Amino acid sequence: MAQFAQIIVDVPTLQTNRPYDYAIPLVWQDQLQVGIRVVVPFGKGSRQVQGFVVGTSDTPPDYAGELKTIAQVLDLQPVLNTELLALAKWLAQWTFAFQISCMQTMLPSMMKASYTKKVRLTGAATPATAAIFNGQAELDFADLAPETIKQLLKLQRQNLVEVDYQVHDRAKIKTIKAIQPLLSVAEYTAAAAKVPANAKRQHDLLAYLSAHATTTAPLSLPQITAETQLTLAHMHTGADKGWLRIVDLETYRDPYAELATAPRTQPLTLTAEQATAVEQITTAGQQQQAKVFLVEGVTGSGKTEIYLQSIQAAIAKGQTALMLVPEIGLTPQMVTRVKGRFGAHVAVLHSGLSNGERYDEWRRIERGEAQVVVGARSAVFAPLTNLGLIIMDEEHESSYKQDDMPRYHARDVALWRARYHHCPVVLGSATPSLESRSRAQKGVYQLIRLKERANHQPLPEVTVVDMKDELKQTKEDNFSSLLLQELHKRLLHQEQSVLMLNRRGFSSFVMCRDCGFVLKCPNCDISLTLHMDTHSMKCHYCGHEEAIPQVCANCQSRKIRYYGTGTQKVESELKVLLPEARILRMDVDTTRRKGAHAKILRQFGNHQADILLGTQMIAKGLDFPDVTLVGVLNADTALGLPDFRASERTFQLLTQVSGRAGRADKKGEVIVQTYNPEHYAIRLARHHDYEGFYQREMTLRHQAGYPPYYYTILVTASHEEENEAAKKIFQLMNQVKPALSPQAVLLGPTPRAIARVNKRYYYQMVIKYKHEPQLEKILTQIMQENQARNGIQISIDREPLSFI
Ligand code: ADP
Ligand code: ZN
Ligand code: ZN
């Protein structure tokens, strides 16, 4: 009988990773479990804060003061299981985060504080439930007395009750009108005999009802109207005559509902390379080895089929599988492929879902109703038990790293969970990160290389166009004559093309031609971007928005011009150059609305357009058989960034986008426009030479002392006053420096490349090291001492993927 509980509390100003001891009130002493959330008094004045129970005991803690008592119990059953609690503890240490942030990150946002909770009966009514529910269908959790909670905790363990979160967005989901036939075929025939022959609509309705008389599920009215042109008014007539009933049909929060019932796909006959890969992965699974495989396979080598068949093997053993996909790569195509193979066993988690949808999917996983989870970064915390396999597609993608606390990389979490479950991990990519590839080189990961496309077609031929030469000949900045000519050919042959522009917006910025003034964000050190669709200037960092200027704010000149290139501008140019082409544009602006992304891809797949023009979001995962030309309008944009991964990013992007061409039986061709044709990232991407790029880039990283030869940690201090931020970072430097060995390198402190964002100034330093036993301790200490003191904010980022 536990009388005491250890609790991680949610106190933002004084965060610590240490659990606090509390007394459990007598009523709950035999019911409270680890992983349940509670409300406890904290600190002077006993403010009420939320916390997670992480341990219980029956021996009094070694604490001199008076022990406080738990005030409320918030859950009837643990929301985090033992594995996830242990993971939160490790993650907090690993990422210099607070345990409470880690725990909260693992839960769907529906389950966070402000949503109302209802307790419902799930089993048969018993005398005990009857006494509590007293005829009501559900109880409001907030109104429950401690004694009632005690009884409910007990009932929950018998699976008689459950807690449900009130879904606010359910109200927003429109119910649709539906009808329910009420009579038999014979009765409809009899009714028709009584209706005058000229009442055509009534006869149509009776014919329809008669044809669907045996249907038990309500028939959706929008669908009936589409088929028969019968409207709600006609249905009211039918209802008055007693032929049918009109009902409101609630649409279920499963955005992929239609996929669950779609016909299943059959496993493909594997190529020799694929078969060896699946064999190795499933063997490790059978032997319960937490082995990490790096599948380095050229684009189109059929990595997805390897994933699917390895998942198949895991679920055949009664285990579960987790498949991570970068947010941007979580295309409807990918979901269709996984759902197509495993149907209703699949749960999907990503940021495009509403809170309600996410919560529903999470619950299906938690209850064991879904054995396969496909999802973006945070799906790595999916509450799957008995994991048999973890897959991470496009493992090099930077969206696997979270930018704010906890600053975790999903790969690290995946590896931790695999060790916990003794199951293999598959990292897949055509262009693995240098970190992973070098680990495979050392034998830490097992390398599996796929050199051939599944269709045995050659990789597309890549032509590099030097835009410096091109500019001398034509006046077009965005289209070389070769690219235009090839686009033309595709139109003639009714083949499709994909064009990638590595930017967004109409133009990058607005500049005064008289004085050179560039309109900047008032809150951040960055120029504002012009958006033609909203007719405004926007800051991509803080969201600030203002009207497009007519005159220069500096010299009042009217000679304001737009510079740079955006997808909107290219689209209008293209319409002039190729008036007969049907163009679809895919960028942040055209995909903002829910479902827009899927719609554009569907239209392109149905040949409703000849050209798909987009930003880097079109580079990944798309598999359209009739695309024979891929054009990259500006391959260099990323090369100039002040980041040592600039070449790696460029190489990866070019390889990925080239891989969209020639995926079926038609040969593919790629045209890359650049001002730097000699750059090694572009030269090697042209030859699809990942291994060559890896060697070359590793040499450079070695010379410059960058990852993967060194580990890096980025420490940032920010404040509204510039000198406060600067003072703090120097103070931190003085704290860290004495703890470092001579082998470590400290870069900075310096102002960040974009020094001011959202009215705060940022200063940073980078620690490069190989082995520093003291470093973790000192950084953990810095984190805990310095939180939110005097308006200073500190962040510590292990292996940052962005230094800007
Ligand atoms: P990757 O993810 O490696 O770029 P995909 O998994 O998208 O490649 O596969 C490329 C194409 O090859 C897809 O259209 C897929 O259906 C097809 N494919 C994969 N494996 C096979 C196979 N064993 N036999 C026939 N077609 C295959
Ligand atoms: Zn001016
Ligand atoms: Zn801004």
pLDDT at residue 527 tops 90: no
Candidates 14, 10, 11; CA nearest to 37 is: 10
Please name which ligand lies nearest the alpha carbon of 660: 1
Ligand 1, atom 21, lies closest to the CA of 454
The pLDDT tens digits for 614-632 are 887 787 667 788 899 999 9
Q: Measured at the alpha carbon of residue 618, what is the angle toward residues 617 and 623, in degrees to the nearest 5?
A: 135
The torsion defined by the Cα of 436, 741, 801 and 564, in degrees rounded to 10, comes to -130
Tell me if 295 sits within 8 A of 690, measured CB to CB: no
Ligand 1 within 6 A of 623 CB?
yes
Confidence class of residue 169 from pLDDT cuts 50, 70 and 90?
A: very low
Confidence class of residue 15 from pLDDT cuts 50, 70 and 90?
A: low
Ligand 1 within 6 A of 51 CB?
no
The whole-number pLDDT of residue 171 equals 35
Please name which ligand lies nearest the alpha carbon of 513: 2
Ligand 1, atom 26, lies closest to the CA of 454
Ligand 1, atom 9, lies closest to the CA of 302
pLDDT at residue 774 tops 90: yes
Ligand 1 within 6 A of 786 CB?
no
Please name which ligand lies nearest the alpha carbon of 551: 2
Q: Please tell me which of 498-502, 709-713, 781-785 the model is most confident about, judged by mean pLDDT.
A: 709-713
The pLDDT tens digits for 415-468 are 999 999 999 999 999 999 999 999 999 999 999 999 998 888 888 899 999 887
Please name which ligand lies nearest the alpha carbon of 304: 1
Neighbouring-strand partners of residue 728: none
The whole-number pLDDT of residue 63 equals 77
Ligand 1 within 6 A of 329 CB?
no
Candidates 599, 595, 616; CA nearest to 608 is: 599
The whole-number pLDDT of residue 172 equals 42
Ligand 1 within 6 A of 268 CB?
yes
Q: How far apart are CA 488 and CA 439, in angstroms?
A: 45
Ligand 1 within 6 A of 429 CB?
no
Ligand 1 within 6 A of 257 CB?
no
The best mutation among 295, 623, 652 to test binding of ligand 1, ranked by most ligand atoms within 8 Å of the C-beta, falls on: 623
Q: What is the mean pLDDT of residues 303-317?
A: 96
Ligand 1 within 6 A of 566 CB?
no
Secondary element (H or E) of residue 413: helix 410-421
Measuring CA to CA, how many Å separate 86 from each of 90, 102, 415, 472, 718?
6, 11, 14, 63, 31
Please name which ligand lies nearest the alpha carbon of 555: 2
Ligand 1 within 6 A of 303 CB?
yes
Read off the tokens for 433: 């990160």
- With b meaning 16 or more CB within 10 Å and e meaning fewer, what string describes 206-229? bebbbebeeeeebbebeebeeeee
The best mutation among 303, 305, 394, 622 to test binding of ligand 1, ranked by most ligand atoms within 8 Å of the C-beta, falls on: 305
Dist. CA 531 → ligand 2 center (Å): 21
Tell me if 692 sits within 8 A of 767, measured CB to CB: no
What is the residue-wise DSSP string for 696-720? HHHHHHHHHT-TTSSEEEEEEEEES
Q: What is the mean pLDDT of residues 103-122?
A: 79
Ligand 1 within 6 A of 331 CB?
no
Please name which ligand lies nearest the alpha carbon of 560: 2
The whole-number pLDDT of residue 16 equals 66
Dist. CA 277 → ligand 1 center (Å): 14
Ligand 1 within 6 A of 656 CB?
no
The whole-number pLDDT of residue 139 equals 84
Q: What are the φ and ψ backbone dihedral angles of 342, each rounded to 5 degrees?
A: -115, 0
Tell me if 451 sits within 8 A of 690, measured CB to CB: no
Ligand 1 within 6 A of 631 CB?
no
Please name which ligand lies nearest the alpha carbon of 514: 2
Ligand 1 within 6 A of 652 CB?
no
The whole-number pLDDT of residue 476 equals 61
- Provide the residues around ligand 2 (an ion) whose CB is within 5 A: 512, 514-515, 517, 552, 554-555, 557
Ligand 1 within 6 A of 454 CB?
yes
Neighbouring C-beta atoms of residue 799, cutoff 10 Å: 18
Ligand 1, atom 23, lies closest to the CA of 270
Helices and strands, number each (H, E), in the chain: 24, 33
Candidates 312, 524, 293; CA nearest to 411 is: 293
Ligand 1 within 6 A of 664 CB?
no
Where do the H-state alpha helices sit in 638-788?
646-658, 680-686, 690-704, 722-736, 775-785
Ligand 1 within 6 A of 275 CB?
no
Please name which ligand lies nearest the alpha carbon of 265: 1
Please name which ligand lies nearest the alpha carbon of 298: 1
Ligand 1, atom 19, lies closest to the CA of 302
Read off the tokens for 334: 């990918």
Q: Beta strands 20-23 and 4-9: pairing type?
A: antiparallel
pLDDT at residue 255 tops 80: no
pLDDT at residue 536 tops 50: yes
pLDDT at residue 504 tops 50: no
Mean pLDDT of the chain: 86
Q: From start to end of 254-291, where are the E strands?
A: none
Ligand 1 within 6 A of 688 CB?
no
Q: From start to end of 226-360, where are the E strands?
A: 244-250, 292-297, 320-324, 346-349
The whole-number pLDDT of residue 217 equals 75
Q: How far apart are CA 413 and CA 393, in angstroms?
A: 15
Q: How far apart are CA 761 and CA 718, in angstroms?
A: 5
Q: Which residue has the higher pLDDT, 684 or 76?
A: 684
Ligand 1, atom 14, lies closest to the CA of 623
The whole-number pLDDT of residue 282 equals 97
pTM above 0.75, yes or no: yes
Which atom of ligand 1 is closest in space to residue 298's alpha carbon?
3
pLDDT at residue 642 tops 70: no
Dist. CA 554 → ligand 2 center (Å): 5
Q: What is the mean pLDDT of residues 557-583?
A: 84
Q: How far apart are CA 100 and CA 471, in angstroms?
A: 56
pLDDT at residue 173 tops 60: no
Helix/strand/coil for 676: coil
The best mutation among 298, 304, 452 to test binding of ligand 1, ranked by most ligand atoms within 8 Å of the C-beta, falls on: 304
Q: How far apart are CA 777 and CA 792, in angstroms?
A: 21
Dist. CA 617 → ligand 3 center (Å): 23
pLDDT at residue 170 tops 50: no
Q: How far apart are CA 351 and CA 294, in angstroms?
A: 27
Ligand 1, atom 27, lies closest to the CA of 454
Ligand 1 within 6 A of 295 CB?
no
Dist. CA 270 → ligand 1 center (Å): 9
The whole-number pLDDT of residue 590 equals 79
The whole-number pLDDT of residue 77 equals 87
The pLDDT tens digits for 273-295 are 999 999 999 999 999 999 999 99
Q: How far apart are CA 478 and CA 673, in angstroms?
A: 9
What letter represents residue 534's amino acid? Answer: T
Which of 171-180, 376-385, 477-486 comes out lowest in average pLDDT?
A: 171-180
Q: How far apart are CA 197 and CA 488, in angstroms?
A: 58
Q: Measured at the alpha carbon of residue 118, what is the angle toward residues 132 and 175, in degrees to the nearest 5?
A: 130
Dist. CA 522 → ligand 3 center (Å): 7
Which atom of ligand 1 is closest in space to residue 664's alpha carbon?
14
The best mutation among 269, 333, 455 to test binding of ligand 1, ranked by most ligand atoms within 8 Å of the C-beta, falls on: 455
